[in-house]
Structures are given as C-alpha cells and as structure tokens.
Structure 1
Amino acid sequence: MIFRSIILPVTDAQRSQVAKLLGREPRGLQDIPVVDSRGRPRVIRVASLVDDKPFPTLFWLVDPQLNYRIDQEEARGLIARLQARIDASAALQSSMAEDHVQHIALRDGYMSAADRAGIARLGFADVFRQKGIGGIADRSRIRCLHTWYAAHLVCPNTVGELLDQHWREAAEADCVSG
C-alpha cells in the first residue's frame, strides 16, 4: 500500500525553519510531510530534479534530536546488527525489496512530466526506476538509517519498524534495570 502525505504549500516560516535546521537554504523543498507535536519539521520532501540535477532521495530527516539519536545508534553498530538480522531472513529481505518498489512508485507519483523528461534527458531515468529508498540500488542493504527512517515516518517500512522495535526493546530494558 502506498501512502501519500497531504501536500500543502510550504510557508515562508516553514522554509525558514528548514533552513535553520539544515544550516543553509533548502534546495528543491517541495513539502513537509512530517512535523512534530509543535508543528516543527521532522521530515521534508525534496524534488527529484533540482537545478537540473537528479535527487533520488525523496525524504530527508531534518529533526535534530532524531538525527542525533540515529547517529548514536549508527555509531554503536546498529546498522551491522540489523543487517545481519536481515541477511539471515528471507522474509525481511523480501519485505525490504517491496519497500523499495513502493518507494519508487511513490517518488514517481510526485514527479511531473517535466521532471521525468528532464531526468530522461540527463540520462538518469534508469537510476530512478532502479534505486529506492535513499537512492539505494541493492534492495537488501540498509546503508543509512536516517534515509530509511525519514521514509518510514511518511510510509512505514521494514528498516524503520526494526529501528522502532530496537528502541522499544531498549526502553523496556531501561525500565527493568532502572
């Protein structure tokens, strides 16, 4: 199933918030599909073609606390542990491959005819048909938790659910030991 965010025009205030979070003016900002409880941007959606350059990564995580939390997990080796779990499970591998297929369809659904034509003119049509979440070609690899989790917050996916499960288990362990 493909989920789409409600697309509302990005306000000047939101654009300013995103610029502050990124430390620069956002390029290709299309909308803000996920905000926190106070309305602050958590995930942004970027155009697939920006300044005549392809951007296969559709969703970007801009929430600083969530980015930091994921940075810490990556530094503690979580990608390798999750990847080992995925490598040992045909079901998880199949689920991830389907996540990529759905993400490719979602990204394509946001593209205009002009975007598709520009991407084809630049010779990147195959890239957009083949690369899924975070521009990943190998559909059984994680590569980056940030891109998976940004996509997960918009449309749930396997790696995002594994990360949520990891955090629930860590919280439960803290409760037991605390």
Structure 2
Amino acid sequence: MDTTVTDRDLEVLAEQLGRVPRGVVAVAARCVCGRPTVVRTAPRLDDGTPFPTTYYLTSPGAVKAASTLEAEGAMVGMNEALAQDADLRAAYLAAHEDYLARRSELGDVPEIAGVSAGGMPTRVKCLHALLGHTLAVGPGVNPMGDRTLELLSGVWSPDRCTC
C-alpha cells in the first residue's frame, strides 16, 4: 500500500475530522475507494505537544461504528476476557510493545514513554485506537483491535466503502 500523504489526502482528512489534520506522516490504511481510513501521526506535533496516538482512525463510518460499540459497553466484556485469559493478556502486552516500537520509529518523546493507546497493556479503553492499530498493521498483532473488527462485522468493514 502507498502510504504517501497527498494534498488530496489532507483535504479528505480535514473533511473527515472537521479540522486541519495535525502531525500526519503517512496514511496507514485506506478505504477500498482510496480515501484515508487510518493515519500514522508523529509522536510530537508541530507545536511541541506530545501525541501518543500513532494510529488515528479517521474514517467516519469506522469512527461511528467503534463509538457505537463503546456506547453499547463492548469494553466490559473485553476487559473481563483480559482478566480471565493469561494468553490474551500476553498477546495484548505484545500489541502494546509493537505500538511503542512503531511509534519510536518516528521519534523519541520522553513525556509519553511507555504510553501506547487504547488502554494497552492492562485494559481496553478506546476501541478507535485499537481498531486503528489493527487496520494499520494487519490482523494478528492486536487481539483487541482484531476483536473490535470482528464485532463490527455486518456494520462496518474495511472491505466495503462507507465514504
């Protein structure tokens, strides 16, 4: 996939976000129609602000679907599963470490050292961040991002345009 950010991508992102996008270094995932779904962001914004969310979900359809899951309390069951399953906890810790390693490729920001996104590695907090990670790096890396994508089946899919 071409991760290059074009002027058109920045226009689409401004439309999707309702504001000027900040810190975008790549398009990490695209809709089947070519529009950005997830962007990769710098760990420090141009104004100096630390920004831990490396994979930022931008697709309105995906954002809405993840918001609906959150409103329905999907995180409760995910957190219960984490508490009960040592293998899942280990896989989620590995996802956290993957996230940190990929962010470190973009620079070192001491203020957010050890902080990834979505509640990793100990809880499930933000499905948007976890889904963004899965969509950016593919299945099998973030078990809770994978689970979020599975829960969205029939509502939203990266294989179907909802732009």
TM normalised by structure 1 equals 0.78
Q: Structure 1 residues 169 and 45, CA, compared in 2 at 3 Å: closer, same or farther?
A: closer
Q: Residues 129-144 of structure 1: matches in 2 within 5 Å? A: 130-134=114-118, 136=119, 139-144=121-126
**Which has the larger Rg?**
1
Q: CA deviation at 1:38?
A: 0.6
Identity fraction in percent = 26
Please report the RMSD computed on the Cα atoms of aligned residues, expressed in angstroms. Answer: 1.9
**Aligned match of 1:166:** 151
Q: Give me the whole-angstrom Cα distance separating, in 2, the residues matched to 1:42 and 1:146.
A: 11
Say whether the 8 Å CA contact 2:23–2:41 is kept in structure 1: yes
Q: Deviations along 1:58-97, whole A, 9 cap, x unmatched?
A: 0110111111111111111111111111111111111100
Greater share of residues in helix? 1
Q: Are 2:23 and 1:28 equivalent residues in the alignment?
A: yes
Count of paired positions: 151
TM normalised by structure 2 equals 0.84
Runs of 4+ in 1 over 2 A off after TM superposition: 164-170
**Aligned match of 1:100:** 96
Say whether the 8 Å CA contact 2:131–2:149 is kept in structure 1: no
Q: Are 2:54 and 1:58 equivalent residues in the alignment?
A: yes
Q: CA deviation at 1:164?
A: 2.9
Give unmatched runs, 5+ long, in structure 2. Answer: 156-163
Q: CA deviation at 1:102?
A: 1.1
